[in-house]
């Protein structure tokens, strides 16, 4: 469900033009100026990307988010933390193959994406094989997909899709917080679901060599 657009969002985003891209004419992204990025698909309000970028200043991070209101919130957090290794792009992930060239991305993060629970909407899920084939093109040969969700049905579906697309999967868990890794970064949704007692599913997937 789309968020209600707040007044003057476009005007406010102009304050962050040094690291936020809203103009499609500036795309595809100039990867030569921001090499080997880790990309979050659906940045939301920006908690995850700003935390991980702060922890890893040597890595470049790109957040993709279609909702401008969310991008504005994320941009404010980037500015507050004075992060030079983050770029935010207002972008529909359905067109991700138009944003990057082949083998430009080091890692993808998919955190609590829309589960699209109805069967007829399966192709809209960001872990559907349709999307996985797009990711295959933009990821480097050793690139990885980090996937988190509170939705067990989506997680099981995703594992099936990963297998169909020829991905190797590791670190599979249906309760990430039962033995939470010290390097885990919680998102807004993750904290919400965890507080409600909902277990978090997680895995790391990589396209098999050859």
Given a contact cutoff of 8 angstroms between Cβ atoms, the answer to whether 21 and 27 are in contact is: yes
Instruction: List CB contacts of 146: < 8 A, sequence separation 6 or more.
Output: 107, 108, 109, 110, 202, 204
From the CB of residue 28, how many other CB atoms can be counted at a distance below 10 Å?
Answer: 12
Residue 169: beta bridge partners?
205
d(CA 145, CA 170): 11
The CA-based angle 54-182-178, given to 5 degrees, is 135
CB 205 within 8 A of CB 168: yes
* Residue tagged active-site, from 114, 142, 156, 175: 114
Residue 142 is a catalytic residue: no
Residues belonging to the active site: 114
């Amino acid at each position: 469900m789309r968020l209600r657009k707040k007044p003057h969002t476009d005007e406010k985003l102009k304050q962050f033009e040094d690291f936020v891209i809203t103009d499609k004419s500036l795309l595809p992204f100039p990867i030569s100026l921001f090499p080997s990025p880790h990309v979050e698909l659906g940045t939301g309000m920006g908690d995850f990307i700003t935390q991980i970028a702060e922890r890893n200043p040597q890595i470049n991070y790109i957040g993709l988010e279609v909702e401008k209101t969310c991008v504005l919130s994320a941009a404010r957090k980037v500015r507050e933390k004075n992060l030079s290794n983050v770029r935010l792009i207002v972008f529909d992930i359905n067109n991700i193959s138009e944003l990057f060239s082949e083998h430009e991305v080091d890692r993808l993060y998919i955190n609590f994406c829309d589960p699209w629970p109805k069967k007829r909407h399966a192709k809209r899920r960001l872990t559907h094989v349709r999307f996985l084939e797009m990711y295959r093109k933009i990821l480097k040969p050793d690139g990885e997909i980090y996937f988190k969700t509170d939705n067990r049905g989506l997680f099981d579906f995703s594992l099936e899709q990963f297998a169909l697309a020829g991905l190797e999967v590791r670190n599979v868990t249906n309760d990430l917080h039962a033995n939470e890794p010290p390097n885990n970064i919680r998102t807004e949704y993750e904290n919400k679901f965890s507080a409600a007692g909902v277990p978090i599913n997680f895995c790391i997937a990589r396209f098999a060599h050859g």
